[in-house]
Structure 1
Amino acid sequence: MARSRPTRAATVPGAGKMFALRAIGLVILARWLHSMGDMNFLPALRGMASSPVACLNLVFLFLLIVLPGAKARVERPFHPLPQWLRQALRIFGVLGCLFALWSIGLFVWDAGWRSAVQAIESTNGWLVVAPALYASVVWICRPRALWRTNVAARRFAIGRYAVSIDAATRTTIVWLESRKVGQYDARELSVRGPAGIEPAAATPRSAPADARADAPAADATPAEPGAVAQTASPAPGAPTISATAVEPAASDVPAAPAPPRHAAPARTAGRYPRIELLWDSPAAAGHNRQTVMRVRLVTEGDRVAARALDTALKQV
């Protein structure tokens, strides 16, 4: 009996982004055609031909619906679009959002809030939805890494950079968004960054041996003179000094403030520390100590990925 071919239940990563962009483009196009249907098409087309903003919107809608060169791939889950298409959609989205906000703001300034609310009701909220759609395109096409961090698969995402390590061939590939930076030997790469990346315990500096021997106990206070007499025991045969004789001398010298027991380490890396991935190849002339990537650790996920990348490179 012939068996039917099973269908895949899971979609290819990146297909949802392409579907969302096409849906936004179709919604804007449908609303545009509906607005043109209220008027005559010929005067509307003539006005569009003489308007540069309308021409830009036509190009934007064409790119948004057709998506030339876009393809969902498993190895590029967050970048199904080519680099030029993603940059073009971001630029057109920013221009469209600014123009929509400027035109709506000018209308509210001239007509007033009551007329603006009536216009929103008559257009079924399109005056609010249109800038939101343009902003959604900009947010979908925002700069991000090629994938998420997966330590088990040796894939790391730090900012806009993505790093993959192949333990079998000992090679490392670095990506900047969807552009391949290069392929390197994992044994020649190292992570350099501030001390704030790795969790370090706060250990106070140890005082010299002579100072610790002569200093009084930390828990002792000037009101307890007996603590001074208990710190050191007199040697046999040496003259003993009474506590009453020590009290006037101790009262004349002001007691130094005790250092805090739990001193917080000084943060020299700043709020967002920066790390560098260095390539030191003895065989490549002129490429010694070359910086492959330099990125700031903004989120906690970036810090975790940086620690995991440093550990993985040391284990190769």
Structure 2
Amino acid sequence: MYLNALEWLNELRLICNHGLMHPGKEWQGVLQKASSAGPWNKTKAKQAFATLVDAGSAICKLCQANMATGTGEADSLEHSKPSLSRCMTVICSSCIQNRLNGEQVPGCGCNPACPKAEVSWAPETSNRPAEAGLPTIEEKKVSTKLRTLLQDLKQHEKAEKSVVFSFWTYTLDIIESLLRQHTSIPYARIDGNLSGARREQAIQRFQTDDSVRVILVSITCGGTGLDLTAASRAYLLEPQWNPMIEEQALSPIHRLGQTKEVNTIRYRVRNSFEEKVAMIQDMKRDIAAGAFSSDLPASGLSKSSRLQEFRDAF
């Protein structure tokens, strides 16, 4: 119920980005497929896990580590291989590894136990051409948000380098298509479909090639190990359910070696559901702040508590 509600709400968030509903694979029935009849496999688990991470709910049952923020004993999100049960119970890779020496990893607690699958967030090798599969958007159908982004990138192209973050690769596809159709701005891009070598190549181009003015980044790839200090402008295309994902994504721009003042632009559509997401962000920050004066970890919220967050947002 929690995940199904979250998926419908994510559709509202995507409309804020694109201005219309689209056939993007990331929102179309992801959790319906995940919970439908048939074997539970890595593909279904990865799709469901992406939604959990987005909501800040990918929390290890054993150590209470938040997989999106790297808290607790969990590995960084990108290199971890947690297991996810059909009932959405997460066990992080560190807890799995710690129990391989003869100790059985506890199950989800359901009777009978739900099937589980390993979730890998390591970048996958992709040989697709940069222009392959990009959507074509008529200029009159470009959303207000993306139109504003494009205008701002053009305005600051010569003076500053920019990083554009989005959770959804389909949003990055649209932006990439718009950059090709309506600007002459050279850009780079990194997301989960790139191999490690191609990702490093894209980062180096952005960092060292003065002609490359923009880099598009999947927000789940922006974190530990990246160096994006060539940029002095950062665009967050949508508020995330979990504010720590945003802070992690911005850290490669602010890391040691940054010599310029960094401006962060956060897009929200007025009077839309994005304002509700921002309200939930504030609630989560308050909960996290309260954890310092409490014995209960901030990640120890029950599913019913998270459902209440969504009820409070309306």
Shorter-chain TM-score category?
A: under 0.3
> Rg larger in 1 or in 2?
1
- Give TM-score, length-normalised by structure 2: 0.20
Q: What TM-score does the superposition give when structure 1 sets the normalisation length?
A: 0.20
